[in-house]
Copies of this chain bind each other. A is one copy, B any other.
Amino acid sequence: MIPAATLPIMDVVCCAPLVRHPLTAAAATDLARTLKAIADPARLRLLSMIAATEGAAACVCDLTEPLGLTQPTVSHHLKVLVDAGLLSRDKRGVWAYFTLVPAALQSLSDVLSPTQV
């Protein structure tokens, strides 16, 4: 039950570009865990909706209706993204605001790039 959020994504991704060295089993498992978090239509839309939101912060109530999913399902997807280190949660009073973690997406982008430095 260790939250994946504690995984240092940068470490997993940095210095292990996919196309330069064969991945070890452990590195592949870690990277796959993060990729699984974004390999879902609902979660991709959540990420893009949060990124497009004024101030890049959004609460669950704003995200539920345009997605066409129930509130518990949206909360579940948001938890997956937070645990993966892609979003951060900021609880203000009754509302929970979610913000992108840009470095996480950048790390994923870097590891996939065939033209890595």
Contact = CB atoms under 8 A, between A and B. Distances in A.
Interface of A: 18-23, 25, 28-29, 31-32, 35-36, 38-42, 44-45, 47-49, 51-52, 66, 68, 100, 102, 105-106, 108-110, 112-115
B51 A28 contact: no
B23 A45 contact: yes
B100 A106 contact: no
Nearest to A18: B48
Contacts of A31: 41, 44
B32 A18 contact: no
13 contacts: A18-B105, A19-B51, A19-B100, A20-B48, A21-B52, A22-B66, A28-B41, A28-B45, A106-B113, A106-B115, A108-B112, A109-B114, A112-B112
Contacts of A41: 25, 28-29, 31-32
A28 B31 CA distance: 21
B106 A109 contact: no
A5 to B, nearest CB: 18
